[in-house]
Chains A and B, each alone.
Chain A
Amino acid sequence: MIDKSMNVLVVDDFPTMRRIVRSLLKELGFANVDEAEDGQDALGKLQAGSFQFVISDWNMPNLDGLEMLKQVRADDRLGATPVLMITAEAKKDNIIAAAKAGANGYIVKPFTAATLEEKIAKIFEKLGK
């Protein structure tokens, strides 16, 4: 059972996409959602706060999603935070690179509400084992 009161960080440089993901999360029952506009901003927020889940875009200015993921994994305190990538990058090399860097899930844009729900459920099901 997923704890819907967990703190979720949504990282995307497009405000529209942040709003869409936030709406979907609300729809799925996640009430505590914060946003960051790029990887750099996200790392700052992750280090300052306590987030149990990160949903991130890939292609962003300053620090992209893959770099951010690598830095999260390399961090002692943040290292185990589950990270779901939602990105327009649809090359096989991208998916492989994200998986190798430690992404817990990978969704290609455009995506549906059902896909997001399914991937989140899968991530926390695996973590719970």
Chain B
Amino acid sequence: MKSNAQQVAQVEAADGDDLMRRIGQLTRTLRQSMRELGLNKEVEKAAAAIPDARDRLNYVARMTEQAAERSLNAIDRAQPLQERLGREAEALDAKWQAWFEHPLEPDEARDLVKVTRGYLQNVPVVTRKIHAELLEITMAQDFQDLTGQVIKKMMDVVHEVEKQLLQVLLDSVPEGREREDMQHRLAGHWYPGVVEDGGALINGPQISGDADGVVSGQDQVDALLDELGF
């Protein structure tokens, strides 16, 4: 005679098998009906957009990192320059103050004037260097235009994926309140024109330089224009 515990385990196992079988059946039914409704194509389209989106996000991450590094490097170079300028001015000013308070020996006075002159001559040299670093920081901001274009494209992709997924849900939800809500959302998220192809000549930044028919830099632009006789 079986113990109670054995009986319970047997029943549970049977229940477990049954559950698995039913889930399997449901999955098959779902896949079949999706195929019948043509929804698997929709989902495939949505999924196909993902790898491209990943490449684009990588590009944005890379560009922003480069820009941050470029800016911080320029700041690291400029800061000591302008700090030294300030420190030297303070030191000289203190010496001049001392001269006003107590007359200096002629030799000392001549030295102070000489050092001060040297400082004044050095100021424009250093400010030119700082100016160049500030310009470098300005130039580093050019990522914003490029990543901005890529992000705008990404937003189109996200809208598209959302639309496809909502459509899939919509087709599998029975009539009723829930379905109406979804229809409403789908209508609200449908931006005609947003997802449209901007034409063969509007592609935005090339996220990798080795695509077909794409130049990898200014040198190749110049070469092509020369070739064309422009």
Contacts and interface: CB of A to CB of B under 8 A. Distances in A.
B204 A109 contact: no
B225 interface: yes
B146 interface: yes
Contact of B142 (A20, A58, A96): A20
B77 to A, nearest CB: 17
Contact of A110 (B146, B148, B215, B230): B146
A89 B201 contact: yes
Contacts of B201: 58, 66, 89, 91, 93-94, 97
B124 interface: no
B143 A110 contact: yes
A93 B221 contact: no
Interface residues of B, number: 31
A66 to B, nearest CB: 7
A11 B217 CA distance: 22
B36 to A, nearest CB: 41
A108 B135 contact: no
Given A91-B203, A93-B200, A95-B225, A108 B218 contact: yes
B145 A12 contact: yes
Contact of B144 (A17, A23, A97): A17
Interface string A45-62: 000000000000011000
29 contacts: A12-B145, A14-B148, A16-B142, A16-B145, A17-B145, A20-B141, A27-B135, A58-B201, A58-B202, A59-B204, A88-B204, A88-B205, A90-B214, A90-B216, A91-B206, A91-B214, A91-B215, A92-B213, A92-B214, A97-B201, A99-B228, A107-B221, A108-B217, A108-B218, A109-B145, A109-B205, A110-B143, A111-B142, A113-B135
Interface of B: 135, 138-139, 141-146, 148-149, 198, 200-206, 209, 213-218, 221, 224-225, 228, 230
Closest 8 CB pairs of A and B: A88-B205, A17-B145, A14-B145, A16-B144, A99-B230, A90-B206, A23-B138, A110-B142
